[in-house]
Amino acid sequence: DRQRVQYPFDSSKCTNPVGFKGNLKSVALPTILQILSTDNRTGVLRFEHGQASRAICLKDGKIVAASGREGQRLGQILYDRGLISQEQLEEALEKTKEEKKRLGEVLLDLGYINEDSLKELIRYQIQEAVLDISLWAEGDFEYRDCQMDFDERGVEDIST
């Protein structure tokens, strides 16, 4: 029975047994993603390198979300591109806490961005996070099966 994890995903809450683990020194990121894609896996792939940690969320073998560096957060990207104001970002962040929803979902509900813009930004965010991880010469990784709960409006499936 798969465990369900609320999105934004906290991969530490995914306590199913580790299905696959290793070190990036011995298994490259593209190989890991290819294995999970071929098997149509749904779950969380976690990476740790020193103090840095990242996670990639997969659904049916496709990447649907990823956590990256601080500057790669969706709100920061939107603000940096001038798509939302600081006030709009602060309002939306407050609503994410109150309503326990993702930022993208709240921004859609408020009408600050449209679905196409959100999908494009999520695609960019995922690509940046995956690129960041791919630059690590080493680091531990582990994959666990988990069902993800999230609003499909902001989901962008990225083929691995």
**Residue spans per domain, the chain:** 4-150
pTM of the model: 0.76
- How many residues does the structure list for the chain? 160
> Which residues lie across from 52 on neighbouring strands?
49
DSSP per position, 64-95: EEEE--GGGSHHHHHHHTTSS-HHHHHHHHHH
Residues 130-135: what's their mean pLDDT? 92
- Which of 37-41, 52-56, 77-81, 156-160 comes out lowest in average pLDDT? 156-160
Q: What is the pairing mode between strands 52-59 and 43-49?
A: antiparallel
Report pLDDT for 25: 95
**Angstrom distance (rounded) from CA 78 to CA 13:** 28
Residues 10-29: what's their mean pLDDT? 80
Band of residue 66 on the pLDDT scale cut at 50, 70, 90: confident
Instruction: Tell which wins on pLDDT, 150 or 139.
Output: 139
Does the pLDDT of residue 43 top 70, yes or no? yes
**Angstrom distance (rounded) from CA 84 to CA 104:** 12
Note the helical H segments in 10-49. 29-38
Residues 43-62: what's their mean pLDDT? 90
Report pLDDT for 9: 53
Does the pLDDT of residue 114 top 90, yes or no? yes
CB atoms < 10 A from the CB of 146, how many? Answer: 22
Does the pLDDT of residue 160 top 70, yes or no? no
Instruction: Tell which wins on pLDDT, 21 or 16.
Output: 21
Does the pLDDT of residue 124 top 60, yes or no? yes
Report pLDDT for 153: 45
**Angstrom distance (rounded) from CA 92 to CA 15:** 30
